[in-house]
Amino acid sequence: MNKMESMTGAKALMTAMEKEGVKQVFGLPGGANLPMYDEFSRCDIRHILVRHEQSAAHMADGFGRVSRKPGVCFATSGPGATNILTGIATAQADSAPMVAVTGQVPVAMIGRDAFQESDIIGMANPVVKYAFQPRSAAEVPETVKKGFFIAESGRPGPVLIDIPKDVQTNEAEMVFHDEFKIKGYHPWTDPDIVNVERAIDMLLHSEKPIILAGGGTIISSAFAELQAIAEALMLPVVTTFKGKGAFPENHPLSLGPIGMHGHAEANKMMAEADCVLAIGTRFSDRSVGTFEAFEKRLKIIHMDVDPAEIGKNQTTQVAVVGDVRASLRIMVKLLLQKQIKKTEDNTWIKHVKETKSYWKENLKLHPGEMGAAKLLRKLRELLPKESIVTTEVGQHQMWASLFYDVIQPGTFFSSTGLGTMGWGFPAAIGAKVARPDVPVVDIAGDGSFSMTENSLATAVLEDIPVIVFLLNNSSLGMVAQWQRTFYDRRMNGVEQNHCPDYVKLAESYGAQGIRAQSMDELDKAIKTALSSDVATVIDIPIDPEEDVLPFVAPGTSLSDMILPS
């Protein structure tokens, strides 16, 4: 029964969020959201204070990706609201469920350039799934209900709810409906069985079929289905970078991520394939190189929840629109019914396996003791398989792609769409809030970590012990690599000159800082971090000249990969 109750808009917001199951929000207060903050003393929602609103959004994002429920972040109007924009855009680019709640100046002040007024709805519109600005207190409950629904259903994404101050303070008779209608929103389509049958047919009639699993596979948790299909049809599996770990990377059919910094074997096999089953991917330029070269050679079967992705970047032969897990389930069922099963005994699979083992053995690695591959393999060896890993953006991210194998699907997260430096650490904090029972590690570079390192305060004061695995090359390494490769070693704006000292920095926040300069030290450091109940930064000095290879230069195709010489 929907009982009417008189309360303020701010109270209604909290009540509605509690009904959505929100247990905590990440945020920072200000004048325009004080009425909402006041409600934290009267409800069971935990407020986790950040030092910069961008981090609040990234934490909500990390929480959302791991729990698949929208993470919530709070910011005040004006600069608070603009500060979370990067986090919102990051979530949009990677289809992460999020609800961002901002304060706004009172309705009567809107449009008058009031103190700390910004048109956040106008600014955010291009980077949200939807934005609301309730203009009366009574609208709040339904706005929240719709907001959470939009954020998590279909292709997930960030929703902004901008609440003017007087809407927070005004009282109204509130009705908390369970049902509502959004006329123009149809997040679900049932997959068309006929198209799934055509897909199977196409896969069976091609000589070199391959699976390309994207982030959508992870969002819909289609792991078991993906593995069943790969094994039944003996299909090698490559992923996009966002789809990394959709399929166990220690599986014999796994080739790892393709793309600009994909595995050599994955790019080679993708370039040779004649038919691809692409699952939950938008065929980003970082994954497939030039679009034309890609679609020219390949028959493409595309499964996606978002109909607008079909044909956006690639022309497809067969399209299956719908939740990819639902689509794959139909496929599994049909394969069982028709008793379709292929054996390992075919030339394509043999060739795939040979290529894979060739590159596993022959890829040139950094000769030093502290080369990236060795460091990441050590991390893999010591982390329990259910650990969650986030990354920042740069070389360390791509080394993680190459050398850190995800064994339990869905435990690896990165800012792949927007490529936001500073995402990984706060996202790790959000992930740890969602999964306090497993170790959470941010694989970081010094440049990225610098951008949101003040979240150490949150990790320490709020008791959220995450590990920062800092590959410290004292530079903006990825940009430095491009300057070495494409700008004749003219190094501009890339040196960070060993500043700050990250061990002292961590300690000054009350966290644990450990420097690891040898493999032994690293071994000990990881073990110490795993057994500590405080956030730990492991500072690992590495060679600033180490490049990430292989590399597919921008604007070229996967077959034009640059390999280590």
Partner 1 sequence: MWAILSILVENKPGILFKVTHLFRSRNFNIDSISVGVTENPEYSKMTITTYGDEKQVEQIVKQLDKMIDTVKVEHLDEHKTVYRELSLFKIKLSNASDSMEINKLANAYGGKVHDVKKESIMVELTATPDQIQAFEELAKPFGIIDVARTGVAALQRSGA
Interface pattern 474-503 for partner 1 (x via CB under 8 A): ------------------------------
Cα distance from N-terminal residue to C-terminal residue, the chain: 70
Phi, psi of 546 (to 5 degrees): -70, 130
For the CB of residue 310, give the shortest distance to partner 1 in the complex, in Å.
7
545 catalytic residue (yes or no): no
| CA gap 395, 479 in Å, rounded | 9
Structure-derived torsion over alpha carbons of residues 273, 313, 64, 120, reported in degrees to the nearest 10: 160
> Is residue 342 annotated as a catalytic residue, yes or no?
no
**Which amino acid does the sequence have at 206?**
S
182 binds partner 1 (CB under 8 A): yes
Nearer to partner 1, 121 or 407 (CB): 121
Options 229-237, 296-304, 310-318, 467-475: segment touching ligand TPP (CB under 6 A): 467-475
Pick the stretch among 122-130, 171-179, 255-263, 413-421 that binds ligand TPP (CB under 6 A): 413-421
Which of positions 115-134 make contact with partner 1 (CB under 8 A)?
A: 121-122, 125-126, 129-130
Q: Quick check: is 270 catalytic?
A: no
Residues 280, 219: contact at Cβ < 8 Å? yes
- The 440-445 sheet, strands edge to edge: 412-413, 388-391, 440-445, 467-472, 536-541, 512-515
Residue 302 contacts partner 1 per CB under 8 A: no
Q: Is 478 a catalytic residue?
A: yes
Residues 145-174 within binding reach of partner 1 (CB under 8 A): 150
* Pair of tokens at residue 533: 């109940």
Give 292 or 501: the residue with its C-beta nearer to partner 1. 292
Give the total of residues touching ligand TPP (CB under 6 A).
Answer: 19
If the CB atoms of residues 182 and 194 are measured against partner 1, the closer one turns out to be 182
State yes or no: residue 307 binds partner 1 (CB under 8 A).
yes
CB of 428 to ligand TPP, least distance (A): 14
Q: Which residue is nearest to ligand TPP (CB)?
A: 445
421 binds, among partner 1, ligand TPP, none (CB under 5 to 8 A by kind): ligand TPP
Cβ 394 to partner 1, closest distance in Å?
27
Shortest gap between Cβ of 143 and ligand TPP (angstroms)? 31
Contacts of residue 186, defined as CB under 8 A and 6 or more positions apart, other chains included, come to none
Could you give the CA distance from residue 560 to residue 554 in angstroms, rounded to a whole number? 10
Of 105, 111, 100, nearest to 143 (Cα)? Answer: 100
Helical H segments across 68-192, by residue range: 79-93, 120-124, 140-152, 165-169
Name the binder of 150 from ligand TPP, partner 1, none, CB < 5-8 A by kind: partner 1
For β-strands 71-75 and 46-49, DSSP reports them as: unpaired
- Binding-site size, partner 1 (CB under 8 A): 18
Instruction: Determine if 123 is a binding residue for ligand TPP (CB under 6 A).
Output: no
Tell me the C-alpha distance between 279 and 326, whole Å.
Answer: 12
Identify the residue among 164, 209, 465, 477 touching ligand TPP (CB under 6 A): 477
At 424 the three-state DSSP class reads helix
Residues near 451 by beta carbon (within 8 Å), at least 6 away in sequence: 421, 422
473 interacts with ligand TPP by CB under 6 A: yes
Burial 58-94 (b: 16+ CB within 10 A, else e): bbbbbbbbbbbbbbbbbbbbbebbbbbbbbbbbbbbb
The residue length of the chain stands at: 565
Minimum CB–partner distance for residue 150 and partner 1 (Å): 7
Q: Which of 419, 495, 507, 524 binds ligand TPP (CB under 6 A)?
A: 419
CA 563 to chain centre: 27
- Binding residues (CB under 6 A) for ligand TPP: these are 392-396, 419-421, 445-448, 471, 473, 475-479
Catalytic residues, by residue number, are: 53, 115-116, 165, 478
Binding positions for partner 1, rule: CB under 8 A: 121-122, 125-126, 129-130, 150, 182-185, 306-308, 310-312, 315
